[in-house]
Chains A and B, each alone.
Chain A
Amino acid sequence: MRDNPLRFFRIGILPMLLACSNLAWGDQFAQGVAPAPARQAELLNLVRQDCGSCHGLRFEGGLGVPLTPAALKGKPVEALRDTILYGRNGTTMPPWSPFLTEAEAGWIVQMLMKGLP
């Protein structure tokens, strides 16, 4: 249930449209294009500090689930990216799509899975 890839289809038309409009970004992500260095620094601060408020500064969990490389191992990247973008209904996880592109969310997943620098 948690990582049901189908959940993407349950969350409504608007996010799907948003996702479509972001397809170009998705392609970039698929080709491994990382955000520009200045944006990377912003994103890393956001992840460490703002995600860290619930998930812990070391991502070992809090109100939110742990996000360490060990905790994320084997989970589908797209489902994780969609959780960041669209939140998780019925939990305290909010959608971050107003602030992040699909490519940026994908890059964040990559960074978390590797372990943040």
Chain B
Amino acid sequence: MRHCKILTSRIQVSFLALFFLAGCATAPQRGTGDLGVVIERATGSIQVVETTHRTKLAQIPGLGDLSHASLNYSRDARYAYVFGRDGGLTKVDMLEMRIVKRVMQSGNSIGGAISQDGKLIAAANYTPGGVKFFDAETLELVADIPAVDQAGKSSKVIGLVDMPGNRFAFSLFEAGEIWVADMRTPAKPVLTKFRNVGKEPYDAMITADGRYYLAGLFGEDGLALLDMWNIEAGVKRVLNGYGKGEQKLPVYKMPHLEGWAATGTELLIPAVGRHEVLVVDQGKWAEVGRIPVHGQPVFVVARPDNRQVWVNFAFPHNDTIQIIDVQSRKIVKTLKPGKAVMHMEFTPRGEHLWLSARDEDKVGIYDAETFERIGELPADKPSGIFFTHRAHRTGL
């Protein structure tokens, strides 16, 4: 009898254990491949969203001043590293939907990058000007490169990108220089500096293959180009004096080069101070066309199949989006998604495009084939939208 009782309780215990195990097994598990982050710039919060059912999963507050915020994803696409204007660097767990770690790494920051091996997070800073490198796991400082030129003057750092070989490239706004940092030994950065690349580089991008680093110049018409396969050849000036002699318009919002559309043989880039998208031959690095558009372009973003590009515009034309057919270079659609369209992001395979309409407090979702608005999500002054497929792309 007694024996029997023990047996029963043993059975109960094992049932209990089984129950718990089953509980664990059915606890919500998911991948991160259809997740993303929407920056809510005014409230210093982010939304974690998913693109399969087009819903918000969580809102996470406490990320500081998120004007001009950007982020990078860890190589497992689980963590987002969010760079705030106020110098805050925040590591967010996309699955547990919480802040894992947050450090104030500078007084004023503009963006960041993650190394090829995923171990280093780099932050580009305005004040004090320079790049800081952090351990991706712990956010502990690993290396610090002040952007001080030969004259001893500090520069704002812009256009920071990762490159193959655990290297990074960035540009110095005031000094007009491009620096490449080899971070294979993280505690001992090896710097290669290119001076006199042009006046006031304001943003830069790297082609998806990691070969060409291109910096846009604000202080003059032209671009500075560094070919990483022929780095000893130095920085070359391309598109020199495009639109020379023409009156430039005032620039109410700096164009962003991150979204520069590379369509295989051509690059489509925003012209500074002009209502034009420039078409550049990627072999000759020469202008081969200009597409007149509705306003000054800010982002020129290629659909993943490179057949069309979507363009948004600077104030006061920022209520409009135009879609350009790459083959014919014609505008095939003009949309009015709402006031102050800040950013656009395609879903990984490009069937939908999400955009943020800041002054409407909405994220709009569009069918990338029919251009129909298929949904929207409320968001508090949304700006950047970042989906996790960026985790596996050089320069993003």
Q: Taking beta carbons and an 8 Å cutoff, which residues of A are in contact with B?
A: 45, 48-50, 52-54, 56-58, 60-63, 87, 92, 94-95, 98-99
Bound form: Cα–Cα A45–B315 in Å: 13
Inter-subunit contact A45/B359 (CB<8 Å) = yes
Known: A49-B358, A49-B359, A99-B316. A92 touches B218 (CB 8 A): yes
* Interface membership of B251, Cβ < 8 A: yes
Q: A56-B86, A57-B85 are in contact. Are A49 and B42 (CB under 8 A)?
A: yes
Interface residues of B in 207-252 (CB under 8 A from A): 218, 250-252
Known A56-B67, A57-B65; judge A63-B250 contact (CB<8 A).
no
Does B41 sit at the interface, judged by CB under 8 A? Answer: yes
Q: In the assembled complex, which residues on chain B have CB atoms less than 8 Å from the CB atom of A48?
A: 42
Q: Is the CB of A61 within 8 A of B315?
A: no
- In the assembled complex, the Cα of A95 lies from the Cα of B173 at a distance in Å of 21
A58 CB contacts on chain B under 8 angstroms: 65, 86
A residues less than 8 Å from B65 (CB atoms): 56-58, 60
Q: Which of B85, B126, B316, B381 contacts A49, CB < 8 Å? A: B381
Q: Any chain A CB within 8 A of the CB of B303?
A: no
5 pairs of residues in contact across A and B, judged by CB atoms under 8 Å: A58-B65, A62-B68, A63-B156, A92-B251, A92-B254
Residues of A within 8 A of B315 (CB): 50
Given A50-B252, A92-B251, residue A62 in contact with residue B108 (CB < 8 A) = yes
Chain B at the A interface: SS class:
loop
Residue from B107, B108, B200, B253 within 8 A of A53 (CB atoms): B253
Question: A61 and B67 in contact (CB under 8 A), knowing A50-B315, A56-B108, A87-B250?
Answer: no
Interface size on B, residues (CB 8 A): 29
* Contact assessment for A53 and B67 in the assembled complex, using a CB-CB cutoff below 8 Å: yes
Q: Is the CB of A49 within 8 A of B340?
A: yes
The closest CB in chain A to the CB of B249 belongs to A94
- Chain A, Cβ-Cβ closest to B69: A57
Q: How far is the CB of A96 from chain B (nearest CB, A)?
A: 8
A99 to B315, CA, bound (A): 10
> Which B residues are within 8 Å of any A CB, using their own CB?
41-42, 65-68, 85-86, 107-108, 110, 126-127, 156, 173, 200, 202, 218, 250-254, 315-316, 340, 358-359, 381
What is the number of contacts between chain A and chain B, taking CB atoms within 8 Å? 59
Q: Bound complex: CA of A63 vs CA of B68, how far in Å?
A: 11
B108's partner among A45, A50, A60, A94 (CB-CB below 8 A) is A60
> What CA separation (Å) do A48 and B127 show in the bound complex?
21
Residues from chain B with a CB closer than 8 A to the CB of A87 are 250
Contact pick for A62, options B42, B110, B200, B359, CB 8 Å: B110
B125 CB → nearest A CB, Å: 11
Q: Which residues of B contact A98 (CB under 8 A)?
A: 316
Do the beta carbons of B126 and A61 come within 8 Å of each other?
yes
In Å, the complex CA distance between A45 and B86 comes to: 20
Q: Which of B67, B107, B173 contacts A52 (CB 8 A)?
A: B67
* Contact in complex: B340, A62 (CB < 8 Å): no
Closest to B110 in A: A62
Whole-angstrom distance from the CB of A5 to the nearest CB of chain B?
Answer: 22
How far apart are the CA atoms of A91 and B316 in the complex, in Å? 20
Among B67, B68, B127, the one with the most A-chain Cβ atoms within 10 Å of its Cβ is B67
Cβ of B359 and Cβ of A53 under 8 Å apart?
no
- Bound together, the chains give a CA A99 to CA B42 distance in angstroms of 23
The answer to whether B42 and A94 touch across the interface, beta carbons within 8 angstroms, is: no
Pairwise interchain contact B252-A62, C-beta atoms closer than 8 A: no
Contacts of A50 in B (CB 8 A): 252-253, 315
Q: Check A61–B108 contact: CB distance below 8 A.
A: yes
Check if B250 sits within 8 Å of A57, measured CB to CB. no
Residues from chain B with a CB closer than 8 A to the CB of A61 are: 108, 126-127
How long is the Cα–Cα vector from A62 to B124 in the complex, in angstroms? 12
Residues of A within 8 A of B316 (CB): 98-99
